[in-house]
């Protein structure tokens, strides 16, 4: 692994840790809620009408953010490993490089 990749991996890990820490500080220290307003409106309206409203996967507030963070990190790693092959430099017969 070259130096650039190590630095990018370190920066990504620090950024993910920062997002997770900021989320938990916002919830537990400042008492924030992670539920968006439109979901709350839909749930309240469904109760008034008498329709059952459910989520396909119920992870809870903390579980959703952990799952989305892990999915984003996994997507970043996949894209990070695919893009070097896209931008790979090849040598031409004149000795220059094609991009």
Enumerate the domain spans of the chain.
3-86
Q: How far apart are CA 76 and CA 5, in angstroms?
A: 13
CA atoms within 13 A on the CB side of 9: 9
Helix (H) or strand (E) holding 91: strand 90-91
The phi, psi pair for 25, rounded to 5°, reads -65, -45
Per-residue pLDDT of the chain (99 residues; tens, 9 = 90+): 788 888 888 998 999 899 889 888 887 888 877 666 777 787 888 888 888 777 666 677 677 778 888 998 898 888 877 776 666 666 665 555 555
Q: How far apart are CA 99 and CA 93, in angstroms?
A: 14
Q: Is the pTM of this model over 0.75?
A: no
Cα 96 to the center of its chain, rounded Å: 39
């Amino acid at each position: 692994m070259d130096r650039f990749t190590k630095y990018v991996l370190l920066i990504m890990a620090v950024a993910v840790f920062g997002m997770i820490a900021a989320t938990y500080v916002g919830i537990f220290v400042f008492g924030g809620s992670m539920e968006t307003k439109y979901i709350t409106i839909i749930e309240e309206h469904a109760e008034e009408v008498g329709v059952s409203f459910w989520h396909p996967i119920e992870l809870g507030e903390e579980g959703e953010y952990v799952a989305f963070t892990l999915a984003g990190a996994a997507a970043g790693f996949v894209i990070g490993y695919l893009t070097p092959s896209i931008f790979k430099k090849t040598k031409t017969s004149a000795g220059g490089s094609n991009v």
